[in-house]
Amino acid sequence: MTELLVRVADIQRKATRAKAVERDERDDPFIARLQRFADFTAVDLNSLHAVLECEQRVKKRRELVLEGDVFGKLGFVKDGFAVRYKLLRNGKRQILSFLLPGDVVGLPGSFLDRAVHSVVAVTDMTLQMCALDALVALCCRRPKFGLALSWLAAQDAALYAERVIDIGRRRPMERLAHFLLETHARLAMVRRAGASAFELPVTQEMISDALRLSVPHLNRTLAQLRAERLIAVSERRIEIIDRPAMERLAQFQPISPARIPFSAEAEMH
Amino acid sequence: MTELLVRVADIQRKATRAKAVERDERDDPFIARLQRFADFTAVDLNSLHAVLECEQRVKKRRELVLEGDVFGKLGFVKDGFAVRYKLLRNGKRQILSFLLPGDVVGLPGSFLDRAVHSVVAVTDMTLQMCALDALVALCCRRPKFGLALSWLAAQDAALYAERVIDIGRRRPMERLAHFLLETHARLAMVRRAGASAFELPVTQEMISDALRLSVPHLNRTLAQLRAERLIAVSERRIEIIDRPAMERLAQFQPISPARIPFSAEAEMH
DNA sequence: CGAAATTTTGATCACGTTCAACTTCAGTGG
DNA sequence: CCACTGAAGTTGAACGTGATCAAAATTTCG
């Protein structure tokens, strides 16, 4: 039934192009991210839509990418959470990143000869799939998208780097605080978080696998953050109570992209 | 005097275009990397040369980027080593990556509103500088470069991810072994390493800051790898003696980029 | 509702850090 | 040429952080 409603909405979208774009800018987390570093016109966005094959729904726990796959597609996360991870021989798993709305499944996997990490859905998700060669063709027609892709990849790299710093040099409290602030900022960027609170539908086991802490220790650290009244946790909702203290503790600095420096003539292109 | 010789070489290069390209392919580590995921014609490469401002020599220990800089340039490493790092409040430093010939200084820093990491030269280096907006303009004229940039950024991201896995889940021996294999592969890719040996002109302190090990522990781990006859170390030259054992130990899988899937029509563009 | 997953708490232990001393080596000036 | 200096590498002993193991309490979901 919901399915049907969506279809109807889809048809209406195609009917009125102007409205479609308007809707996207408000709603679509991926477009929200793109608009942060360049201006995309209605024409641009329609070209982008043209290469998006279909909106795909995916159930919780479904594996989206398995290590070793040749994954010639990209998936733009429209809704839901996923984790990118790697399983080691000894059975341990390292979670590399949480994929939030606006993130891209298959980056960097599809740019390598085969995926080096696996991705699994944590909640039910909706994705917009896109063939890699269609995207490449789009980038050739509209170079702006090729640059946008670089910008996205650079943000991913910066995020991984931040994780290296977390795991490498921050104490557990700082580490957790940093992770929470970063996640909040990422969600806020795509309008999926309030001013100081957000839903984080992941288990403590996942967080501990991401932050290189044992589950018991993560739990204690979380309790400590709560005891010091820096955050509040209810169900799977995190509220940042004392942001200044949190930012000081974590030495948090938001990662925000620069705008792509188009020269006047290039912009015309 | 050396400077003069370079100038002369430069003039000669411009004189005979065919030869110039040939020379680059053999010598230039950055071009070597590019050619791995797309075919760049002589015309392409000349466009690239046009945006490269100058070849800059930099002395050992010189800071190339300081955290917080607005760094609107990119530097293609032609020769020498550098490290990208972050200093924490408590005085600890985390080395995020070693920059080798063929790598890019300012990625991802220049794509963010300001650099989030610092970069310092470890050896004397030569860099080819390039203004970011000139590169963007190039990408607009020749979309292939925009895609190439994405591919490079994706490789960087994959490399950081590997570091997260190292620090997060590999034991010290495995971690060090993985780092050595990876570094060898990266150097080999740009023809800066022999079949099983390479120069690594960095101190143990740097390696330990990269791998999250204390200097004494790194030293012991290195000694152990030597004792088990997996590697040999003389001066700052590493030789991988038992590659199969090393790869098994580290669970090493090389990261190699896919080729950019240009469709026939797009290629024409 | 019952079974399984998740969260919470406690006790013990190991790995890698820290601190310290010593060695080796390269560079520098007397 | 040697003594001196400082940086880098090496080795040892003690300590502490966070892991591991175990079990209870709680929540989630089929």
Protein residues contacting strand C, judged by Cβ under 7 Å: A 203-205, 215-216, 219-220, 222-223, 236; B 171-172, 212-217
Mean residue pLDDT of chain B comes to 88
Query: Per residue, what are the HEC states of chain A?
Result: CHHHHHHHHHHHHHHCHHHHHHHHHHHCHHHHHHHCCCCCCHHHHHHHHHHEEEEEEECCCCEEECCCCCCCEEEEEEECCEEEEEECCCCCEEEEEEECCCCEECCCHHHECCCCCEEEECCCEEEEEEEHHHHHHHHHHCHHHHHHHHHHHHHHHHHHHHHHHHHHHCCHHHHHHHHHHHHHHHHHHCCCCCCCEEECCCCHHHHHHHHCCCHHHHHHHHHHHHHCCCEEEECCEEEECCHHHHHHHHCCCCCCECCCCCCHHHHHC
Q: Please work out, in degrees rounded to the nearest 5, the angle formed at the alpha carbon of residue B42 by the alpha carbons of B1 and B80.
A: 40
Give the β-pairing of A73-79 and A104-105: antiparallel
What element of type H or E holds B82?
Answer: strand B82-87
Q: How confident is the model at residue B5 (pLDDT cuts 50, 70, 90)?
A: very low
Q: How close A113 comes to chain B (CA, Å)? A: 4
What element of type H or E holds B85?
Answer: strand B82-87
B160: contact with A, CB 8 A cutoff:
yes
Q: Residue range B65-82: average pLDDT?
A: 92
Round and report the angstrom distance from CA (A211) to C1' (C15): 18
Q: Tell me the C-alpha distance between A147 and A157, whole Å.
A: 15
Q: How close B74 comes to chain A (CA, Å)? A: 13
Q: Which amino acid is at A80?
A: G
Q: Tell me the C-alpha distance between A119 and A96, whole Å.
A: 10
Q: How confident is the model at residue A3 (pLDDT cuts 50, 70, 90)?
A: very low
Q: Summarize pLDDT for A9-68 with one digit per residue, the tens.
A: 444 444 444 545 455 556 899 999 999 999 999 999 999 999 997 899 999 999 999 998
Does residue A29 have a cis peptide bond before it, meaning omega lies within 30 degrees of 0? no
Q: How many CA atoms lie within 13 A of A116 on its CB side?
A: 25
Judged by CB atoms closer than 8 Å, whether chains meet at A136 and B72 is answered as: no
Tokens 């201006």, residue?
Answer: A39
Q: Summarize pLDDT for B209-252 with one digit per residue, the tens.
A: 999 999 999 999 999 999 999 999 987 899 999 999 999 999 99
B155: contact with A, CB 8 A cutoff:
yes
Instruction: Report which DSSP code applies to B257.
Output: B
Return the higher-pLDDT residue of A261 and A9. A261
Does residue B108 have a cis peptide bond before it, meaning omega lies within 30 degrees of 0? yes
A56, A60, A62, A64: CA torsion to nearest 10 = 50
Q: Tell me the C-alpha distance between A169 and A175, whole Å.
A: 9
From chain A, the residues in CB contact with B262 under 8 A are: 133, 136-137, 140
Is the pLDDT confidence value at A4 over 50?
A: no
Round and report the angstrom distance from CA (B262) to C1' (D23): 58
pLDDT for residue A72: 87
pLDDT for residue B16: 46
Q: Summarize pLDDT for A202-237 with one digit per residue, the tens.
A: 999 999 999 999 999 999 999 999 999 999 998 889
Closest CB from B94, B133, B153 relative to A150: B153
Q: Summarize pLDDT for B78-94 with one digit per residue, the tens.
A: 999 999 999 998 889 99
Q: What percent of chain B has pLDDT over 70?
A: 88
Round and report the angstrom distance from CA (A153) to C1' (D28): 37
Q: How confident is the model at residue B264 (pLDDT cuts 50, 70, 90)?
A: low
R_g (Cα) of chain B, nearest Å: 19
pLDDT for residue B49: 92
Judged by CB atoms closer than 8 Å, whether chains meet at B165 and A265 is answered as: no
Beta bridge partners, B83, equal B98, B120
